């Protein structure tokens, strides 16, 4: 299945658009749920992210046929781009709506061209970008007391509002479990105690890897 080039700032997907990251994804040494993806699969996904960006700038198609059955499994995914150590774009899919291989290709392009916090990546910048990927497990319901800070990411929703924070965010800010729950509620635009008043709480894990030192 080929992926056609699209001009910068055009929508990456016909049916579902990735969401900007609320927090930079930092620390490539952090490996959450590590070991699910082999070294070869990680390298393949990182190469795909770079090629997805360059192919859009070069107006050429790329293949989205996953090289392994594992990479054809639907997963949520976030792609973070760094240029000279600074965040240059970050978007992702919260839910597993596409095979992980396609999700990485789409979110890489989205991070490069559709994150409206930044100007579109130029060809010169694209040649020097560092990529970091967060591949999410499917979210599942969880009780507040079961949440493990540093292991689980959170997805809290209520009354049509939804907020997500990746597993590494509470570690970066030194939050405990309650603060993590409260901050995810705030991300959803909900009161900080919504997690105690009937809001849906789901958790997921993430395997985080990339090129950023």
pLDDT in tens, 145-159: 999 999 999 999 999
Please report the pLDDT score of residue 157 as a whole number: 97
Please report the pLDDT score of residue 213 as a whole number: 47
Query: What's the CATH code, domain 17-136?
Result: 3.30.700.20
Taking the model in full, what pTM does it have? 0.76
Q: For residue range 43-79, what is the model confidence (pLDDT) as tens digits?
A: 999 999 999 999 999 999 999 999 999 999 999 999 9
3-state secondary structure the chain: CEECCCCCCCCCCCCCCCEECCCCCCCCCCCCCCCCCCHHHHHHHHHHHHHHHHHHHCCCCEECCCCCHHHHCECEEEEEEEECCEEEEEEEECCCCCEHHHHHHHHHHHHHHCCCCCCCCCHHHHCCEEEEEEEECCCEECCHHHCCCCCCEEEEEECCEEEEECCHHHHHHCCCHHHHHHHHHHHCCCCCCHHHCCCEEEEECEEEEECCC
Please report the pLDDT score of residue 26 as a whole number: 42
Please report the pLDDT score of residue 3 as a whole number: 64
Please tell me the class of the 140-205 domain.
alpha beta
Please report the pLDDT score of residue 94 as a whole number: 83
Q: Give pLDDT < 50 ranges for the chain.
A: 7-15, 23-34, 213
């Amino acid at each position: 299945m080929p992926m056609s080039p699209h001009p910068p700032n055009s929508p990456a997907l016909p049916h579902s658009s990735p969401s900007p990251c609320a927090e930079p994804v930092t620390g490539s040494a952090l490996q959450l749920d590590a070991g699910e993806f082999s070294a070869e699969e990680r390298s393949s996904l990182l190469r795909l992210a770079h090629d997805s960006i360059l192919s859009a700038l070069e107006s050429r198609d790329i293949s989205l046929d996953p090289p392994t059955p594992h990479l054809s499994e639907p997963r949520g995914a976030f792609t973070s781009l760094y240029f000279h150590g600074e965040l240059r774009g970050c978007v992702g899919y919260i839910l597993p709506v596409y095979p992980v291989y396609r999700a990485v290709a789409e979110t890489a392009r989205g991070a490069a061209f559709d994150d409206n916090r930044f100007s579109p990546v130029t060809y010169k910048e694209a040649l020097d970008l560092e990529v970091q990927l967060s591949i999410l497990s499917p979210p599942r319901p969880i009780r507040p007391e079961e949440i493990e800070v540093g292991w689980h990411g959170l997805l809290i929703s209520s009354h049509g509002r939804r907020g997500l924070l990746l597993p590494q965010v509470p570690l970066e800010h030194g939050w405990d479990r309650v603060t993590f729950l409260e901050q995810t509620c705030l991300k959803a635009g909900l009161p900080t105690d919504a997690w105690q008043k009937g809001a849906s709480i789901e958790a997921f894990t993430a395997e985080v890897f990339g090129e950023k030192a």
